[in-house]
Amino acid sequence: MGFKIIEIKAPTGYSEEELRNQIVREAGTDDCTWQIENKSLDARKKSNIHWLLRIAVHGQGIGGTDRTPAASLVIPYKPRNKRVMIAGSGPAGFFAAFVLQKAGFDTVLIERGAEVKKREQGIARFEKTGEFSPVANYSFGEGGAGTFSDGKLTSRSKHISKERDFFVTSYIEAGAPAEIRYMAYPHVGSDNLRSVVKNLRDQYQQYGGEIRFETTLTDLVLQHGRVVEAVIGGETMAADYFIAAPGHSAYETYRMMIGRGVAFRTKNFAIGCRAEHRQENINRAQWGIEKLDGVKAAEYRLTSEADGKHPVYSFCMCPGGMVIPAATSRDINIVNGMSNYRRNGRFANAGCVAGIHPDQLAGRKVTPLEALSWLENLERSFFEFSNGYQAPFCTISDFIHATEPRQIPETSYPLGLKPAPLWKMLPPVVTHALREGLKDFNRRLRGYGDGILLGLESKTSSPIQALREKTGLCEGFENLFIAGEGSGYAGGIVSSAADGIKIAMQIIGKED
Ligand SMILES: Cc1cc2nc3c(=O)[nH]c(=O)nc-3n(C[C@H](O)[C@H](O)[C@H](O)COP(=O)(O)OP(=O)(O)OC[C@H]3O[C@@H](n4cnc5c(N)ncnc54)[C@H](O)[C@@H]3O)c2cc1C
C-alpha cells in the first residue's frame, strides 16, 4: 500500500463527490482511501477565494511510504490507592482529573458552579430577567469558562502536541465535530460544547471519578509545606495531591491561596471592550460579497501597536455570534462573546483590547493582591454605571472622537445597552492605546469603524501568575499544583487543558 500527501485547491462550495474526483485525479488511482490533514480558507484574493486542503492518501500503485505516526500520550494504568483532589472543572481541572483517573488514582473533582443543564437554565434566566446566579453563570459551572463560548480550539502554545492530540480525540469521542482535527481554525460552538462537556463527565464517572457540583474550595490546611486537607463547604477533605484549577475569575480563591502562602507575581494582561459589527459587513470586507457558499461567516484577526509601546489586538472573535453578560459576581458587569456551531447570527463580535502591566496602570510597583483589587474595582465601576447589567456602549467613532453616543443601535447583547463615555471609563493609557489601535483597524478592515463597542472586556488574561516549578508544583509546596488560566501560564481552552494534562502526567511520573 503506497502513501502520498496531496495539496488541493477546492472551490468554497465543493461537494464530497467533487472532492473525491479531485483526489482520485491527483492520486492517479481510484483504489485509495484518504484523510484530510489540514483545511484552511485562502481569502487573500477576493476574486479567487478557495479552500486549501492537505490530504493524506493511501492506495495501490501510489509511490511513497507512510510516515511514522506522531507519538501519542500514554497513560499508564495501575491501582494506586492515592487520592487527588482537583478544584475547578474547566478544561485544566477536568483534563487533569480525567487523566489521573484513567491512570488509576482516586480523584475527586469539585466545582463551585452547577452541572451544565442547571447552568444553562441559570444563564437563560439571567438573560431574561437580569437575575444573576452565583452558581450558574458564564464563568462558573461545569466545563468552566469555555462551555458557553465559541469553542475556538486554536492555541499558540508550543510543545503540547501530545496533549492537544489527547484533548482533540477526547472531544471528538464526546461528540465534537470530527473536523476539529484538521481545520486550521477549529471551533466547536457553544451548542455542541454543552453535550461534549456532559459526555466527558459521564466517561470520567465511568472510570470511577467523583464529581461534586456547587462545592467550593474555601481553604487549605497546611503542615510543613504539605497540604493535608482542603476545606470545601463546611467539611474537610484529605488527599495526597491537590490541584487548584480555578480559572482567573475566582478572586476569592486567589486571595485564599495567597493568604496560605502560595506565591504570585504580577504580569502583563489586557483590557478593553468588545467590538460588534453586522456580520454581513465583515463578510463584505473580507470576501467582497455578503455570502460565500460553503463558508459559515468571515473572521478577522487584527493587531496593532500604539506608539510602538502598547499592543492592541482583536481577541476571541465570534463570527455570527452574541455578546454575552459574563458577570462573575452580582456586582460586576463585564462582557464576552460566544457563538453556536453554525455561526449564523446577524452579528460578529471580538474583543478589542490593549496589553498593559498592572504597574503601568498604578504608576508604581503593585502587589498581586493590589492588581486583583484594581481589576475587580474596574469591573464593579461598570456595574455601578449601569446599576445592573446593561452594557455600557458607544460607537467606535464616538470612542475615537470622544463624542457621546446618541442612538441605541441593534445588538446581540441580551440585557440592553446604555450609552456611555467608554473612553473615560477606562484608564487613560488604555484609552489612548485603543484609540490608536481602532484607527489602525479601521484603515485595515473596511467598515470596521462602523461598529460599536461594549464594555468591559477584562477576561482576556490574568494580571497575575503563580510562582510554580516546571512540574506545575507551587513553589514551596510539596503537593499543591496550580493549573490552567488561573496559574497565569495558560490562556484558552486548549492550552489550559494541555496544562492540566501535563500536571497530571507529572503526578503519575512521581508515583511510577
Ligand atoms: C464567554 C467566554 C468565551 C470564551 N471563548 C473561548 C474560545 O472560543 N476559545 C478559547 O480557547 N477560549 C475561550 N475562552 C477562554 C477559556 O474559556 C478559558 O481560557 C479556559 O476555560 C480556562 O480554563 P481553566 O480550566 O483554566 O479555567 P476555567 O475554564 O475558568 O474553569 C475554572 C473552574 O473552576 C471553578 N472554580 C473556581 N474557583 C473554585 C473554587 N474555589 N472551588 C471550586 N471550583 C472553583 C469555576 O467555577 C470554573 O468552572 C472563553 C471564555 C469565556 C468566559
The whole-number pLDDT of residue 491 equals 93
The whole-number pLDDT of residue 67 equals 84
Mean pLDDT score, 270-289:
97
* Res 70 pLDDT > 90: no
pLDDT tens across 91-116, in order? 999 999 999 999 999 999 999 999 99
Give distance in angstroms: CA of 32 to centre of ligand 1. Answer: 43
The DSSP result for 220-259, as a single string, is EEEETTEEEEEEETTEEEE-SEEEE--TT--HHHHHHHHH
Domains of the chain in start order, with CATH, are: 2-59 (3.30.1660), 83-265+464-511 (3.50.50.60), 268-367+381-457 (no CATH)
* Res 63 pLDDT > 90: no
Give the residue among 208, 187, 410, 228 at the shortest CA–CA distance from 319: 187
% of the chain residues with pLDDT over 90:
94
Atom of ligand 1 nearest to the CA of 216: 42
The whole-number pLDDT of residue 366 equals 97
Residue nearest to atom 11 of ligand 1 (CA): 492
pLDDT tens across 445-499, in order? 999 999 999 999 999 999 999 999 999 999 999 999 999 999 999 999 999 999 9
Kind of pairing, strands 241-244 and 347-356? unpaired
What is the C-alpha separation between 18 and 31, in angstroms, rounded?
Answer: 16
Kind of pairing, strands 310-318 and 464-466? unpaired
pLDDT tens across 337-377, in order? 999 999 999 999 999 999 999 999 999 999 999 999 999 99
**Count of other CB atoms within 10 angstroms of residue 462:** 27
What is the C-alpha separation between 186 and 193, in angstroms, rounded?
Answer: 13
Give distance in angstroms: CA of 139 to centre of ligand 1. Answer: 6
* Res 62 pLDDT > 90: no
Atom of ligand 1 nearest to the CA of 110: 43
CB of 329 within 8 A of CB of 316? Answer: no
What is the C-alpha separation between 290 and 384, in angstroms, rounded?
Answer: 39
Give distance in angstroms: CA of 108 to centre of ligand 1. Answer: 19
The whole-number pLDDT of residue 61 equals 84
Kind of pairing, strands 464-466 and 480-482? unpaired
Atom of ligand 1 nearest to the CA of 146: 17
Residue nearest to atom 38 of ligand 1 (CA): 246
Give distance in angstroms: CA of 357 to centre of ligand 1. Answer: 22
Q: Which residues sit with their C-beta closer than 6 Å to ligand 1?
A: 87-93, 110-113, 138-141, 144-146, 148-152, 216-217, 245-247, 250, 253, 316, 324, 326, 336, 338, 459, 484-486, 491-494, 496
- The chain-wide mean pLDDT, for the chain, equals 96
Residue nearest to atom 41 of ligand 1 (CA): 217
Atom of ligand 1 nearest to the CA of 142: 49
- The DSSP output letter for 338 is E
